[in-house]
Amino acid sequence: MNATDVMTANVITVTPQTSVRHLAELLGRHGISGVPVVDSANHLVGIVSEGDLLHRVETGTERRSEHRRARWFDGLVGDHDIARDYLKSHGRAVGDVMTRDVVTVAETAELDEIADLLESKRIRRVPVVRDGKVVGIVSRANLVRALAMAERRPADGVVLDDFAIRDALLAELRGKPWAKAGSAEIMVRNNVVHLWYSDDQPVAEQQAIRVAAENTPGVERVEEHLVHVPMSRVL
């Protein structure tokens, strides 16, 4: 799946001249947390979110320079930062408070690429652009909806027998650092996978092997069994 499969196409946008007050009303009315900022030709010039409106003079939440300088890292706070804080808290137009360095993706971007961007950049949404123009937006909520609509991978109409299921599961586990040889005994009977773990095996590894088994085509159920490891073996 790529961006076009999950993106919101009818994107609400604002311009740099939009007032901050109107922006706040827009976010509240539509129940969204951010919007792209475009020029008259619909070219992306920035993005603005509710995070840009947290510290505002109207609500008494603006950052005060004397407080910033009093903190332990006051040596790292320069006049430029204080001026930027003032602009964010007192600016009346979107152009004063928006973020200009915007992370974007193309329509063909794969979902794993988008998920990595949202996580690594610590952002909630990413505009989808074509020739510099906004054609959609993908948010974390869009990815969650895609998960809700996703179907389990079909087995292409092939009914796997127990031996084929075991081979498919072993092939999936092969090369995984958390699925070393002997990390679990695997048996399949009547499409039910039985997994035996030693009781000293990390729980995360057990869970990962279980999930791999559950996602193997043809598997109807997974049963897990713990085998006690004698202290003499541990020592």
- Mean pLDDT across 126-145: 93
Q: What was the pLDDT predicted at 146?
A: 86
Say how far apart CA 176 and CA 154 lie, in whole Å: 23
- Mean pLDDT across 184-191: 87
Say how far apart CA 66 and CA 169 lie, in whole Å: 62
In the beta sheet, which residues pair with residue 188? 193
Most confident of the ranges 32-36, 61-65, 173-177, 178-182 = 32-36
Q: Is the pLDDT of residue 145 over 50?
A: yes
- Mean pLDDT across 60-65: 78
Say how far apart CA 110 and CA 1 lie, in whole Å: 6
On whether the CB atoms of residues 57 and 89 are closer than 8 A, the answer is yes
Q: What was the pLDDT predicted at 72?
A: 44
On whether the CB atoms of residues 128 and 104 are closer than 8 A, the answer is yes
